[in-house]
Structure formats: C-alpha cells, structure tokens
Structure 1
C-alpha cells in the first residue's frame, strides 16, 4: 500500500469516528475531570528527601548529602576522586561552589558556546537544577543560569548536579509540572544515561553522562543576589 493510500485510510477512520460529533462542538465543551492524586501518600519534607535519595540510587546515580557550608569541599573532593582536570560550568553557577576545587574551569556562555568536540574533551560538568522529584528519582534542568545549555549536561561523561533541599524537592510529577515553565527547554534526568539491547545487556553513557552524582544540600546554597541571566539555546 502506498503512503498516500495509507494516509487516506487512516484519515477515513478518523472521519468515521467523528461522524456523530457536531461541527460547532469544541474540546473545552467536555471538560476532563482531573481528580487523580497529586501525590502518592503523605510525607514529611525529610521523608520526601529520603525517598528522592533512594530512588536516585535505584537508578544508579551516586547520592551525596551536604550542608551549604560543606558544599565547596565536597565538590572539590568528588572532582579529585574522579581525576577531573577540566570542568565546564554555566555562567550562573554560584561563585563559592567550586572555590576549593583545583581544576581548570571552562565557562560555557551564550556568547562563547563550546562545540560538541570541545565538550567531549571535558572531564566533568557541575550544574544546579530546576527541581527534583522524590517519587520518580528525577532531576529536572530548565537551562537556568546555574544549569546552562542542555548540551553541557549531556556531552561530558561525568555530571555533578546540586539540588537544594529547602526549595527544589517536590513529591510528584504533577507538583513538578505546576512549577516548571512549559516554554523552557526541560531535561528530565533519572540516573545516568543507559540503554540495553535485546539481551538486556546494559550500556551506560549512550545518550548522556555515564556517571551522575547528585548532591542534596541542606541550608541556603544560593546567594541572596540574583544571578545574571543569559539567553540560552
């Protein structure tokens, strides 16, 4: 069967299915009940963070905990353990986060974007996030100032992602959607990039970082002043 014939066959089925629908009827004329649960169970903030940590671990992410004061030392230690020498950072990453890390910083900005080849030569990337979802173990990036372009968190093989416990952890996907801007370039990350073949042999690092480390930070890890915002692709 030709492409045109297949198309007409499908459209014919759609027409027959809509034959009894009045032409002036609009979708909003039949509101859909949105009475599903927004979360699965009730949790305290501490329980939500613990659930997030467990689910991140189930997805083979490496999870660390810190307070704001200890974050620079922890990031320095994790980068050293990885043997990272060149680290890409977005322009809005808080100044103090990497103050103790003895590495070469490569800044990716709207005016000086790194090519895929240049990003492939980078050892690690350090970013913040938009939020993290406890029930699914998912970290969401929206290309904000402390996250940068989507490509800098997909090409390097090692991603260190900082999550502020106080204001960035939500329980569920419905709660996350209420806080995320639909016109932002959203990247949903559940563990390191991985796939498997027909024999279920797992291979990591196919569509993104082979190693994902998430740092859950208590206290205020963000300075009071607003970050300058770059327009990002």
Structure 2
C-alpha cells in the first residue's frame, strides 16, 4: 500500500460518521479529551515548570518582584553584557539595576545588527509546566520574534502563578492563534548523527528563565521528596 493510500484511508475512517452532503469543516469537533495530567496547584505547577525547563538546559531562577531588577542586573553582569535589547512595553524598572546599554527593538535592525547585541530581556505570554515551554506572542514586553532567535543570550521573565498553565490544551485556550506565537523549550540545540549536541544553532545559546512571584520565592523540597 502506498503512503498516499494509507493517508487517504485514515481520512476516510475519520470522516466515516460525517454525512456525505455535509461540510466536514462545519461539523463540531469533540473537545472532551483530558486537558491535564493530574490536578496540580499553582506551587506544584511552578515546580514542574522549573524542573522541565532545567531538563532542557535552561537556567532557572526564582525571585519576588522587588528582587527582579537586581537579579536581571546580576545575570547581565555575569554574562558581561554591554548591550541589551529592550522590547517595547518592557517595564523600565526591570533594567534599573543594570549597567548594560538598553537598545530598542527596531524594525529596521538586520540579523547582523541583532547578532552584535549581547543579550535580550523579555516577558512572555505564558509558560506550560508539563512541557517546560515558554510562549511569546509579540505582546508588550516581548518584542518581535527575531530578537529571541538571533542574540546569543535570552532572559525571559515569567509571572507566577498568573502566567503558568499546566498543559498545552490549557495554553491554547488562552492564546490568540492570530498572533505571532513563538514556542520555546530550552536554548537552541541540535545533534548530529553521532548525537553530539551543539547549542546556539538557530536561537540563543543560553536561555535564563526568571520565575517571579509576589512574596518570597517558594522553597525547593529537600532531595528525594
């Protein structure tokens, strides 16, 4: 059986309960599938997000809102960043403790110009705990997609718990599909046929995620718990 015949057969079976005269696109699609795997509270969802981000080799930090500017400043300083891209709508207070030169996200910037920038700081639309994924939609504080793909160092701020969802179905329900969605699971990486991992091929080599919450950051459980 050819691949075409196999695919067409699957389509016919999927449409078996649809009347021939009906428009399949007009038929409602059942959405009664499981939307989450378990019932996590906000603290558990944030912990799962941090674990999965770390599995993808992102570097995860936690702080409260008051400590955010100092943390961002220290991360940029550790990186030796002299310039940092600042998307429109990013709160000015976030960069109040850094010595790096803030550079606006400009439409006319070429990939060569962006590649010369040391770092970029953005917010996000939301983050998915089960997959360790950050989603940006180009909204305030997020900028154009390319500023998170070209510079080598990306710091992304996630507000906890309001921007954390457990699953992809929950994320899709909150996202606008007409916006330019960028889904990020860890720093850019690929492997060759020998399974040698190479980072920074089609995105930032280093991704740092800051989970920001009101009040003191949650304590991590002791090892083994």
TM-score normalised according to structure 1 size: 0.83
**Structure 1 residue runs without a partner (length 5+):** 1-8, 221-233
**Equivalent pairs, count:** 209
2:84 equivalent among 82, 87, 95: 87
Q: CA deviation at 1:24?
A: 1.8
1:97 equivalent among 94, 106, 125: 94
CA deviations over 1:108-129 (Å, ceiling 9, x no partner): 14xx532111100000000000
Counterpart check, 1:166 vs 2:139: no
2: distance between equivalents of 1:179 and 1:51? 20
Kept after mapping to 2: 8 A contact 1:87/1:104: yes
TM-score normalised according to structure 2 size: 0.86
Residue in structure 1 matched with residue 129 of structure 2 by the alignment: 134
Q: CA deviation at 1:57?
A: 0.2
CA deviations over 1:51-71 (Å, ceiling 9, x no partner): 000000000000000100000
Q: CA deviation at 1:32?
A: 3.9
Q: CA deviation at 1:50?
A: 0.3
2: distance between equivalents of 1:14 and 1:138? 33
Counterpart check, 1:76 vs 2:82: no
1: distance between equivalents of 2:48 and 2:71? 22
2:105 equivalent among 101, 105, 108: 108
1: distance between equivalents of 2:26 and 2:139? 37
Kept after mapping to 1: 8 A contact 2:46/2:161: no
1:124 equivalent among 119, 138, 155: 119
Say what the alpha-carbon RMSD is for the aligned residues: 2.4
Structure 2 counterpart SS, 1:70:
helix
The structure-2 alpha-carbon separation of the partners of 1:14 and 1:64, relative to structure 1 and needing over 3 Å to count, comes to closer
**Structure 2 residue runs without a partner (length 5+):** 216-225
2: distance between equivalents of 1:149 and 1:95? 18
Decide which moves more: 173-182 or 20-29: 20-29
Larger Rg: 1
2: distance between equivalents of 1:170 and 1:32? 23
Kept after mapping to 2: 8 A contact 1:125/1:158: yes
Residue in structure 2 matched with residue 51 of structure 1 by the alignment: 48
Counterpart check, 1:187 vs 2:182: yes
The structure-2 alpha-carbon separation of the partners of 1:219 and 1:50, relative to structure 1 and needing over 3 Å to count, comes to same
The structure-2 alpha-carbon separation of the partners of 1:177 and 1:100, relative to structure 1 and needing over 3 Å to count, comes to same
The structure-2 alpha-carbon separation of the partners of 1:23 and 1:144, relative to structure 1 and needing over 3 Å to count, comes to same
